[in-house]
Amino acid sequence: MRASTYQQYNEIFEEMANRHPSIQFFHEIDEDEIISGQFRSKIRFPAFILEYPALGFNDNRTNVNQVFPAAFAVLKQLTGKQLGHAPSIRAIMNETNIIMLDLISYLREKRRTDGNFYLETNLVKLDKVGPVFDACYGWRCELTFQSWVDLNFKPEEWTVYNPEKWK
């Protein structure tokens, strides 16, 4: 069977978040958790929030790359007297921006050392986030990376058509 490129996507970002000394929490975001409020009770800051990727392909007839338009955010929460305090917001924006730059540099290094990971840094985009999730601020990174995927048809892995299968 094929290797999962989606699994590779998760592993790259989880490893990156795990290795950064400032990141205290990693989570692949689930919209239901946000709506139901479950997300807020378990988060620790600064937090790395990974969004589910979109998946596409780049096929040049001899080789196929899977394309991952993806996004993640680094967030930190204001509390107590900091709420609405502009200098505190700026401090969080600066702190999370430094973390974000560290993470992008990690991905650039991964591109250099991993033969099956390609990131076009020119297409990386950072957007300010906040206030979200009870006074969290930070940065959201949008990026697209590519990874080779085996899309060769393997007839030996298929079964013979059976019209009785669904009856």
Domain-located, residue 163: no
Q: End-to-end CA distance of the chain, in Å?
A: 27
Domain-located, residue 164: no
The count of domains in the chain is 1
* CATH number of the domain residue 106 falls in: 3.30.2000
Domain-located, residue 96: yes
Domain-located, residue 71: yes
Domain-located, residue 162: no
> Tens digit of pLDDT per residue, the chain (167 long)?
456 677 878 888 899 999 999 999 998 876 566 545 666 667 889 999 998 888 888 888 877 888 888 899 999 998 888 887 899 999 999 999 999 999 999 999 988 888 777 888 888 999 999 888 778 899 999 998 888 888 888 888 888 888 888 88
Domain-located, residue 165: no
Summarised one tens digit per residue, pLDDT across range 135-144 is 889 999 999 8
Please give the pLDDT value at position 130.
87
C-alpha closest to that of 38 among 47, 29, 46? 29
User: In which domain, by residue range, is 72 found?
Assistant: 5-157
Domain-located, residue 145: yes
Please give the pLDDT value at position 121.
87
Give the integer Cα–Cα distance in Å for 39 and 49: 11
DSSP string, 88-137: HHHHHHHHHHHHHHHHHHHHHHHHHH-TT-EE-GGG-EEEEEEEETTTEE
Summarised one tens digit per residue, pLDDT across range 105-142 is 999 998 888 877 788 888 899 999 988 877 889 999 99
Domain-located, residue 167: no
